[in-house]
Amino acid sequence: MLIVPMLDQGGLERVCAATARLLNDAYDVHLVVFNTEGMIYDVSGVEMTDLQLGAVRDRFGKLVNVAKRVHRVRQLKKELHTQLSYSFGPTANLVNVLSKQKDFTWVGVRGYGALSSKASMRLICGLADRVISCTRVMEQQINSQFHPKRSAAVYNPCDIQEIREQAQCGTPPEFDAFFAQPGRIVASMGREHDVKGFWHLIKAVSLVRKKVPDVRLMIIGEGRYEAYRKLAQELGMQDAVLFTGVQSNPFALLRKADVYALTSQSEGFPNALIEAMAVGLPCVSVNCLTGPAEILHEAYETCGDENQTIYADYGILTGVFHGEKDLRADTVTAEEKRFARQLTALFVDDTVYRRYQEAAHVRAEAFGMERYRCAVRDLIQEDVP
């Protein structure tokens, strides 16, 4: 049984849907969704139950909702004689452990923010049979803080072949004028949220343009980005920044770019970094928790200094950004200058650029669907002989 709140746009939802498809040929998979409204992921051929118990706002309603979900999932586990239940995300994890019957329970921790809810993590880790994280660093931290019975780290899967196929498709015509401009493009992906640190990126690219004037920036993701548009305008680069909004095929847009940048304050496992590498983009990423170091460097344990710049095996890691959100065009931090220097290095040094372009192609293969399937099946065989 796979348990997930929804199957709308989102990282854990995508991983759950991929898990269902990848395991369905070898196991009797049953997918349980709290609410299928807005569902976009393809799970055709997988048995599914929609509990029709979507999110509610008030505190009492939430408690009632949890009780109803636990009751229904417990019933389903009995009816289906479920051997193993794997849940994705905090709300599904809670329902999974509270509805335990004779099943072996796995809880998936896919976002670093979940660790900040210590009471919830202690409860879930105390009741679950295994905690599965999406990075080794996260697994180590969970083990040291919450002491689960068993743990594992399984990297999120990416369909590398599909990404590369979709990257060959055309792009929306409304972006033709932007792409027709001469020069090279820095790309980044993510919703409009402070955790993504896009104001740092806009300022860094403005610094790059002082040495490489034709460099432009493309941000792909949901949001209106009004404050960021204003910042770009104040920096004199309003025509050099493209906000595409949500795109059904972001990979075709990525193929138009030359470099990928990640400026997040934190990540669970940055799928977008892998997707950009699959398209062949050299990457510059802050060394935030968690994921970038493990993706970009084999000996990720040596990347503990969050203020160090590292020319890693598969990309460039820079120090993290400090301080509060600052949308003033006339203030630039030392960290933003450092990030800009590494972006500039890729544009002015062809040897470095080609090295990381080739490395990106190679590294992306390590996060393919088949490797994920094998990792999950190995754990199933270990826990459900």
pLDDT tens-digit readout, 265-286: 988 889 899 999 999 999 999 9
Rounded to whole angstroms, how far apart are CA atoms 128 and 104?
8
Res 19 pLDDT > 80: yes
> What is the pLDDT, as a whole number, of residue 176?
97
Res 9 pLDDT > 80: no
Query: What is the percent of the chain with per-residue pLDDT over 90, rounded to a whole number?
Result: 89
> What is the pLDDT, as a whole number, of residue 337?
97
> What is the pLDDT, as a whole number, of residue 324?
94
- Choose among 370, 13, 337, 326: nearest CA to 161: 370
Whole-number mean pLDDT of the chain? 95
Residues recorded for the chain: 385
Cβ atoms of 156 and 134 closer than 8 Å: yes
- State mean pLDDT over 312-324: 96
> What is the pLDDT, as a whole number, of residue 269?
85
- Choose among 78, 68, 256, 284: nearest CA to 197: 284
> What is the pLDDT, as a whole number, of residue 144?
96
> What is the pLDDT, as a whole number, of residue 115?
85
> What is the pLDDT, as a whole number, of residue 116?
84
Phi-psi sector, 328: left (phi>0), alpha (psi -120 to 50), beta = beta
Rounded to whole angstroms, how far apart are CA atoms 365 and 196?
25
Distance of CA 230 to the CA centre of its chain: 27
> What is the pLDDT, as a whole number, of residue 141?
93
- State mean pLDDT over 329-356: 97
Within 10 angstroms of residue 214's Cβ, the number of other Cβ atoms is 12
HEC per residue, 327-355: CCCCCCCHHHHHHHHHHHHHHHCHHHHHH
Query: Would you place residue 45 in the very low, low, confident or very high pLDDT band (cuts 50, 70, 90)?
Result: very high
Strand partners of residue 132: 108, 152
pLDDT in tens, 142-201: 999 999 999 999 998 999 999 999 999 999 999 999 999 999 999 999 999 999 999 999
Distance of CA 78 to the CA centre of its chain: 34
User: What is the reported pTM?
Assistant: 0.83
Cβ atoms of 205 and 284 closer than 8 Å: no
Cβ atoms of 239 and 218 closer than 8 Å: no
> What is the pLDDT, as a whole number, of residue 151?
98
> What is the pLDDT, as a whole number, of residue 154?
95
- Choose among 356, 369, 166, 164: nearest CA to 278: 164
Query: Would you place residue 259 in the very low, low, confident or very high pLDDT band (cuts 50, 70, 90)?
Result: very high
Q: Does residue 209 sit in helix, strand or coil? A: coil
| CA distance between the termini of the chain | 16
Cβ atoms of 304 and 280 closer than 8 Å: no
Tokens of 25: 């040929």
> What is the pLDDT, as a whole number, of residue 108?
97
> What is the pLDDT, as a whole number, of residue 52?
96
Residue with tokens 């993510």: 190
Between 7-16, 77-86, 208-217, the lowest mean confidence (pLDDT) is in 7-16
Rounded to whole angstroms, how far apart are CA atoms 377 and 385?
11
Res 71 pLDDT > 90: yes
Q: Does residue 242 sit in helix, strand or coil? A: strand
Res 375 pLDDT > 80: yes
Cβ atoms of 284 and 188 closer than 8 Å: no
> What is the pLDDT, as a whole number, of residue 12?
85
60, with CB counted inside 10 A (0-12, 13-18, 19+), is exposed
Give, for 312, the enclosing helix (H) or strand (E).
none
- DSSP for residue 210: T
